[in-house]
Amino acid sequence: METSFDLNGRVALVTGASSGIGRATAEALAASGARVAINFHRNRAGAEAARAEIVGRGGTAIAVQADVTRAGEVQSLVEQTNAELGPVDILVNNAGSLVERLRILELTEERWDEVIDLNLKSAFLCCKAVAGSMMERRAGAIINVSSIAGRNGGALGSIHYSAAKGGLITFTKGLSKELAPFGVRVNAVSPGVIDTPYHEQFSSPEMMKTYAGMIPLGRVGTPAEVGQVICFLASDAAGYLVGETIEINGGMLMD
Ligand code: NAI
């Protein structure tokens, strides 16, 4: 994958990078010269395949298992990355999922907490684990992967997910105000409908057809198209972007 951004010498950590947007982002960051830690939870094979792809192209990557909803595991993830690659310069909080489409009467407290933890608390934990070192070194870029659902409430059955993704946009703004004075930029991307395993699980073929009809570009996006924008946000080319959320949706939602 070709990219236009120079990330040589940087260390990147991408959560949930064994598939979809996370994997494409890890590959794009590596293609830009970064050494990459590929975090995975259960899909070790996907993470190993991503690592092999990067190494096969001459890059440097490690695969590290951690459940990013657990503070202790996040701490170990960052420590292992630090030990094997060096301190994290670029953090991409990508891990996330809708888990299950449920409307309010079926949505349990447990499921609510699980989805908020996975899509929102995980970003807090990962940011907290790298922020001190970034502030000390007065450098760093954090990119949170939100969603169009965080803007418009999402398709039916996603109030838990859309609330978490909306929270992530506000979290991005708030944290960027804390960290910008230390030279650390925090931004987000808000993908629309991207062709990943997410939709195999949560969207029927009919829904995908309907989505495509709602997109001015006439097609859903690719994970690589999200990875490229994340590389841009990670790079010095985005040096004056702070607290921003970039829509990547083919024109599906503009505001
Ligand atoms: P995906 O299902 O391929 O990726 C999600 C990744 O998160 C998986 O690799 C999964 O293993 C990982 N993960 C789940 N729980 C985890 C945990 N506890 N700890 C560590 N990793 C964990 O789907 P996709 O689409 O690539 O999703 C990536 C991100 O993009 C998610 O945050 C999703 O909400 C977001 N997104 C996706 C859109 C789409 O249309 N595909 C649209 C908007 C946002």
Q: Closest Cα to atom 33, ligand 1: which residue?
A: 96
Q: What distance in angstroms lies between residue 17's CA and the mean position of ligand 1's atoms?
A: 8
- Assess contact for 10 and 28: CB atoms under 8 A: no
Q: How many CB atoms lie within 10 A of CB 217?
A: 12
Ligand 1 atom at shortest distance from the alpha carbon of 148: 43
Residue 87 to residue 73: CA distance in whole angstroms: 17
Please give the chain's pLDDT, 255 residues, in tens.
666 799 999 999 999 999 999 999 999 999 999 999 999 999 999 999 999 999 999 999 999 999 999 999 999 999 999 999 999 999 999 999 999 999 999 999 999 999 999 999 999 999 999 999 999 999 999 999 999 999 999 999 999 999 999 999 999 999 999 999 999 999 999 999 999 999 988 888 998 989 999 999 999 999 999 999 999 999 999 999 999 999 999 999 998
Residue 165 to residue 15: CA distance in whole angstroms: 16
Reply yes or no on whether 211 is catalytic.
no
Helices (H), 117-158: 122-137, 149-152
Q: Closest Cα to atom 19, ligand 1: which residue?
A: 67
Q: Closest Cα to atom 23, ligand 1: which residue?
A: 198
Catalytic residue among 161, 198, 211, 240: 161
Q: Which of 23, 68, 73, 94 to mutate to test the pocket of ligand 1 (most atoms within 8 A of CB)?
A: 94
Domains and CATH numbers, the chain: 11-247 (3.40.50.720)
Q: Which two tokens stand for residue 170?
A: 């506000």
Q: What distance in angstroms lies between residue 181's CA and the mean position of ligand 1's atoms?
A: 30
Q: What distance in angstroms lies between residue 2's CA and the mean position of ligand 1's atoms?
A: 23
pLDDT digits (tens, 9 = 90+) for 57-107: 999 999 999 999 999 999 999 999 999 999 999 999 999 999 999 999 999
Residue 51 to residue 39: CA distance in whole angstroms: 10
Distances (CA, A) of 117 to 96, 120, 138, 235: 9, 6, 29, 28
Supply the pTM of this predicted model: 0.98
Q: What distance in angstroms lies between residue 97's CA and the mean position of ligand 1's atoms?
A: 5
